[in-house]
Structure 1
Amino acid sequence: MSVEGGEQERHRLIQAALAERPFATVKDLLDVIDASPATIRRDIAKLHQAGVIRKVFGGIALPEGTPAQRRHAKPFEENRVLNVDAKTAIARVAETLCRDGDSLIVNGGTTCFIFAQLLARRSLKIYTNSMPVAASLWESGVCHVTLSGGELHREPGIVFSPGVAEPDVFASKFFLGAQGIGPSGLMESHPLLVRVTERLAQRADEIIVLADSSKFDIRARYPVLPIARISTVITDARLTEAQADMLRDEGVEVIVAPDRATE
């Protein structure tokens, strides 16, 4: 096989790997491509430059906005580097809704992770099913933390087992994200996240969704909660009027986080 032909075959295999999953590491690619890590990284750089794939922290992913990319839920480590400015602005607004002494439920997800970091030094009680959230609060926080029991599901970073009873916890506010938001409500691609969210939604006075505007373009597989169950959605300034009206028509309060670049 010629050098050029070998490169074309490697590129084909890299793209084929992303047809089966939304994210792949160099180690994953070494399992299917007979080449050195350095060669694979050069291939990744070329495909990224051509817009065929996207380099992200820890590996590669599908390009943003492609139909295939929209169908998949991203692993926590990949998702945490996307739309960081919008997520941070949303998290800052969410923090202002919390009063010292509150009992909160903070679900998994990267926006909730940023939000939890802002709460770390507050006088709050936080229940979470997110290993990254719990680890961050343990390392740098003083707030009271209760972690869900069960098995660790590494890709979403969630701790959950169907046979493990949830602690007897009740919260004034339940903060969560979603893979997608549409007329059918909150949506996820993993059935596990549906079960987790349904159980926790019964244990809070208010349900507050932290979701950047890109989530309104995603149609995931499983409906989680109907729009009418949501109290508030905090999002960014790229939300369209039609999307905002969809929420408001169901009685949802819409809070748009300020764009720090235009403040």
Structure 2
Amino acid sequence: MKYERTQKIEEYILEHKTVKMEKLCEVFKVSPNTIRRDIKEILKKGTIEKVYGGVTVADNSTLVSFKDRKIIHQNLKLKIALKASEFVNENDIIYIDSGTTTVHMIDGLKNKSITVFTNNLNFIIKALPYPNIKIIALSGSLDRTVNSFVGKESIEFLKNLNIQKAFMASTGISMKHGITNASIKESGIKKTAIKQSSEIFLLIDSSKFSSLGLVTYAQFEDIDFLLTDSIPKEYESFLKENKIKLELC
């Protein structure tokens, strides 16, 4: 119960940006001492910070727009995406996550006959010239900050699917907090896509190691393949322990 409560408290703070401690006691119907203990646990994650009389979203948890993220490490992202495309076979049914790395997979998939489920608007647009790629878009509303479709409709739709391979993106990963993302709205979709897929591929460039997004949407044991350009030395044995196959691009 404590774990679920602290998660909900964190989500509430992230949604409302700045919240007084008294308000948290009122919303979650717990004592000030309980709230203080829960906040102490959440502070360790780095997503929030204390201010006078309450808490606020940490400065380093700001969601970077799709436009700005698109130009960061673009060459590395293209290499990683092309490597990921090599794991896709003819007639595969796959999921393409939202993100500025996964969108480049179209360059390696354009000559394959496959079915793609996705909420990634930019991938959908790039796939338009290729009738051999059957696109099934998730329902929901368009979040223009991340150029993806989000909402409960998307999650409910995914729950009915059996997907062979999911190609996921991440804002940051760490050994302590797992696979994280900056968008709260997308986290439920990502979790469901992983649950409904047989194999999970995580696509990240090396700048994402030991970085932290707002929400943890998966643990390392959920991932089958990690595709990146390089990894810190301390992660090598960690990946082996979690039986994750590493693909350097």
Same fold (TM over 0.5): yes
- Could you tell me which of 193, 199, 202 is aligned with 1:209? 202
Does residue 1:101 correspond to 2:91, yes or no?
A: yes
Structure 1 stretches lacking a partner, 5+ long:
1-19, 21-66, 258-263
1:245 positional shift: 2.5
Alpha-carbon separation, structure 1, partners of 2:89 and 2:173: 27
Does residue 1:251 correspond to 2:243, yes or no?
A: yes
* Residue aligned with 1:155, SS: coil
Structure 2 stretches lacking a partner, 5+ long:
1-16, 18-57
- Could you tell me which of 138, 163, 166 is aligned with 2:157? 166
- Could you tell me which of 229, 233, 242 is aligned with 2:226? 233
* Residue aligned with 1:217, SS: coil
Which amino acid is 2:215 matched to?
Y
1:134 positional shift: 0.9
Aligned to 1:148: 138
Is the 8 Å Cα contact of residues 129 and 160 (structure 1) preserved in structure 2? yes
Is the 8 Å Cα contact of residues 121 and 141 (structure 1) preserved in structure 2? no
Deviations 1:29-62 (A, max 9, x none): xxxxxxxxxxxxxxxxxxxxxxxxxxxxxxxxxx
Is the 8 Å Cα contact of residues 151 and 185 (structure 2) preserved in structure 1? no
Q: State how many pairs are aligned.
A: 190
Bigger mean CA offset, 126-135 vs 164-173: 164-173
Which amino acid is 2:207 matched to?
S
Deviations 1:144-198 (A, max 9, x none): 1100001001111111221453153321100011000111210112211211111
Q: Percent identity?
A: 17
Alpha-carbon separation, structure 2, partners of 1:124 and 1:75: 30
Which amino acid is 2:69 matched to?
N
1:256 positional shift: 0.6
Which amino acid is 2:68 matched to?
E
Is the 8 Å Cα contact of residues 111 and 211 (structure 1) preserved in structure 2? yes
Bigger mean CA offset, 112-121 vs 75-84: 112-121
**Structure 1 stretches of at least 4 aligned residues deviating more than 4 Å after TM superposition:** none
Alpha-carbon separation, structure 1, partners of 2:184 and 2:68: 20
* Residue aligned with 1:78, SS: helix
- Could you tell me which of 75, 85, 94 is aligned with 1:85? 75
Alpha-carbon separation, structure 1, partners of 2:169 and 2:69: 12
- Could you tell me which of 58, 63, 80 is aligned with 1:73? 63
- Could you tell me which of 119, 123, 126 is aligned with 1:129? 119
1:72 positional shift: 2.8
Alpha-carbon separation, structure 2, partners of 1:116 and 1:200: 19
Is the 8 Å Cα contact of residues 71 and 218 (structure 1) preserved in structure 2? no
Is the 8 Å Cα contact of residues 92 and 115 (structure 1) preserved in structure 2? yes
Instruction: Output the aligned Cα RMSD.
Output: 1.9
**Map of 1:219-230 to 2, 5 A cutoff?**
219-230=212-223
TM-score (norm 1): 0.68
TM-score (norm 2): 0.71
Which amino acid is 1:117 matched to?
D
Is the 8 Å Cα contact of residues 120 and 141 (structure 1) preserved in structure 2? no
